[in-house]
Amino acid sequence: MELVYTGKTKNVFQLEDGHYLLQFKDDVTGEDGVFDPGANTVGLTIEGAGLAGLRLTSFFYSKLNEQGVPTHYVDANFDDATMTVKPATVFGNGLEVICRFKAVGSFLRRYGAYVKEGQDLDAFVEVTIKDDERQDPPISADALAMLGILSLEEYEILKQRTIEISKFVAAELAKKGLTLYDIKLEFGRDAKTNEILLIDEISGGNMRAYKGDEYIEPLQLEKIMLA
Amino acid sequence: MELVYTGKTKNVFQLEDGHYLLQFKDDVTGEDGVFDPGANTVGLTIEGAGLAGLRLTSFFYSKLNEQGVPTHYVDANFDDATMTVKPATVFGNGLEVICRFKAVGSFLRRYGAYVKEGQDLDAFVEVTIKDDERQDPPISADALAMLGILSLEEYEILKQRTIEISKFVAAELAKKGLTLYDIKLEFGRDAKTNEILLIDEISGGNMRAYKGDEYIEPLQLEKIMLA
């Protein structure tokens, strides 16, 4: 098996049967040693973060697959902190699709003139392009289509699927008394069928979960959700 | 007549008949003494810039009114550098609607991973919110609707009208051998009828016009266009 990509929080290996293996690392995004799911840089290393992320991802993606929501997830190996996934191509150089239930983070920094911090948002979807050099700028559906990153039809699928998946995650968190503030999803096209797939992961590393006013750290989230 | 607003490039007076009077100043946007139509601050004062802006605005808005494109323009007084306009309310705290024919400026800064500098764009429309403190962030149609700034139906009108007006301006420039790179329009709702109106101005101060590779300064643009 061949290492094909070294990411911020995962290494990617190509398997001989055409699948890929994602190895979850203990590195998490943040700045100056403080975890921030919206950050662009690896801010710190938390022992056990990789396995916790994998276990949560396996939990959510198995359920999504069962519900007929297409994901790249095939199976997981908790001993090695690895996940086997279907091959997929990303849109352009990769997109982040954010679903917001509360006005916090970069949304608040941009639109603070129109919303209060923590105000409820109704599963509001927005897209940013993955571009560390340009601080992941937000992008409109029209711009995505015009730049050839995806079509307006694909955008609508992406948006509807993001709402569906995010509401499912929010409902799972609610069962444990937690509130989902926002979540960041990634999608790609199935390398064989071109179908739009949920890729990457769903874990504490790409969402903000709260219990009342208390932010729940990624490791703690995994413990609460899988207890 | 009463001064009701002091803007970066215009003062606004209320007239007794319900109309408003815009007084064009010689201040133009830019940074460090260099003119930049995309800038948020007054960068310099150019003698005659106000009158030149008014004369060009009068030229474009008269033609647009004749063509049945609704604008706030009523008439102009070149001796006083003032323009009489219909009362209008802005969307939220004001929007800037940008139409791009070439990839330059903030568009290039955001999406440089996907476009080359100066690449042709087909009258591409994007919206930013006027918010100096937050550097006029771009905003999607969905966010505008969700934040109650305008409806999706109004957004479509705004977008189609922006394309129509910008293509008209580009065609007028082309008659003089000039190329329009991008233009920034403002719209509001007619205070009486709620109809969407083109407001503010169209002049060298809110567009980038080129003759070949040479940028045409606002004062020079007015001379070329109205020669």
| CATH code of residue A56 | 3.30.200.20
Q: What is the 3-state secondary structure (H, E, C) of B147-197?
A: CCCCCHHHHHHHHHHHHHHHHHHHHHHHHCCCEEEEEEEEEEEECCCCCEE
CA distance B136 to B149: 15
| Residue found under tokens 């949920």 | A198
Residue B76: which pLDDT band, with cuts at 50, 70 and 90? very high
Instruction: Considering only the beta carbons, identify the residue of B93, B110, B137 that sits closest to A110.
Output: B137
Q: What is the pTM of this model?
A: 0.91
Residue A119: which pLDDT band, with cuts at 50, 70 and 90? very high
A71 Cβ contact partners less than 8 Å away, ≥ 6 residues apart: A61, A64, A65, A197, A198, A199
Domain-ending residue, one of A34, A62, A87: A87
Distance from CA of B144 to the nearest CA of A (A): 10
Are β-strands B207-211 and B214-215 bridged in parallel, bridged antiparallel, or unpaired? Answer: antiparallel
- Provide the residue count of chain A: 227
CA distance A74 to B2: 70
* Residue A135 and residue A83 in one domain: no
Closest C-alpha among B53, B54, B33 to residue B42: B33
Q: Where would I find the beta strands (DSSP E) of B71-178?
A: 73-77, 82-85, 88-90, 95-102, 120-129, 138-139
Residue A120: which pLDDT band, with cuts at 50, 70 and 90? very high
Domain extent at residue A149: 89-225
For the segment B51-67, the average pLDDT, to the nearest whole number, is: 97
* Residue B172 and residue B204 in one domain: yes
Neighbour tally for B142: CB within 10 Å? 16
Tens-digit pLDDT profile for residues B82-136: 999 999 999 999 999 999 999 999 999 999 999 999 999 999 999 999 998 999 9
A112 and chain B: CB distance < 8 Å anywhere? yes
* Residue B24 and residue B114 in one domain: no
For position A186, what pLDDT does the model report?
A: 97
> Which chain B residues are closer than 8 Å to A125 by Cβ?
142
Neighbour tally for A103: CB within 10 Å? 21
* Residue A24 and residue A97 in one domain: no
Domain-ending residue, one of B87, B114, B148: B87
Instruction: Considering only the beta carbons, identify the residue of B93, B121, B142 that sits closest to A113.
Output: B93
* Residue A124 and residue A197 in one domain: yes
Q: Which amino acid is at A85?
A: V
Average pLDDT, chain B: 94
CA distance B89 to B196: 10
CATH of the domain at B175: 3.30.470.20
B window 115-134, beta carbon within 8 A of A? 115, 121-122, 124-126, 129, 131, 133-134
* Residue A127 and residue A157 in one domain: yes
For position A32, what pLDDT does the model report?
A: 78
Cβ atoms of B205 and B186 closer than 8 Å = no
Q: Which residues partner with B128 through β-bridges?
A: B96, B138
Which residue in B has a C-alpha nearest to residue A113's C-alpha? Answer: B131
> Which chain A residues are closer than 8 Å to B115 by Cβ?
147
Closest C-alpha among A165, A92, A171 to residue A134: A92
Neighbour tally for A12: CB within 10 Å? 15
A93 and chain B: CB distance < 8 Å anywhere? yes
* Residue B170 and residue B212 in one domain: yes
For the segment A69-75, the average pLDDT, to the nearest whole number, is: 98
Q: Is the CB of A141 less than 8 angstroms away from the CB of B146?
A: no
* Residue B175 and residue B67 in one domain: no
B109 and chain A: CB distance < 8 Å anywhere? yes
Residue A27: which pLDDT band, with cuts at 50, 70 and 90? confident
Q: A71: which DSSP letter? A: B
For position A152, what pLDDT does the model report?
A: 96
Which residue in B has a C-alpha nearest to residue A135's C-alpha? Answer: B110
Residue A40 has pLDDT above 80, yes or no: no
* Residue B8 and residue B100 in one domain: no
Domain-ending residue, one of A38, A65, A87: A87
Instruction: Considering only the beta carbons, identify the residue of B124, B140, B147 that sits closest to A115.
Output: B147
* Residue A136 and residue A205 in one domain: yes
Tens-digit pLDDT profile for residues A165-187: 999 999 999 999 999 999 999 99
Tokens of A10: 């995962």
* Residue A95 and residue A50 in one domain: no
Distance from CA of A79 to the nearest CA of B (A): 39
Distance from CA of B130 to the nearest CA of A (A): 10
> Which chain A residues are closer than 8 Å to B138 by Cβ?
137-138, 140
Q: Which residues partner with B188 through β-bridges?
A: B90, B197
Are β-strands B207-211 and B42-45 bridged in parallel, bridged antiparallel, or unpaired? Answer: unpaired
Count structural domains, chain A.
2
Cβ atoms of A83 and A58 closer than 8 Å = yes
Distance from CA of A110 to the nearest CA of B (A): 6
CA distance B26 to B45: 5
Least confident segment among A19-33, B24-38, B87-101, B178-192: B24-38
Residue B40 has pLDDT above 80, yes or no: no
Neighbour tally for B91: CB within 10 Å? 22
Q: Is the CB of B140 less than 8 angstroms away from the CB of A137?
A: no
* Residue A161 and residue A144 in one domain: yes
For position A12, what pLDDT does the model report?
A: 95
Q: Is the CB of B110 less than 8 angstroms away from the CB of A139?
A: yes
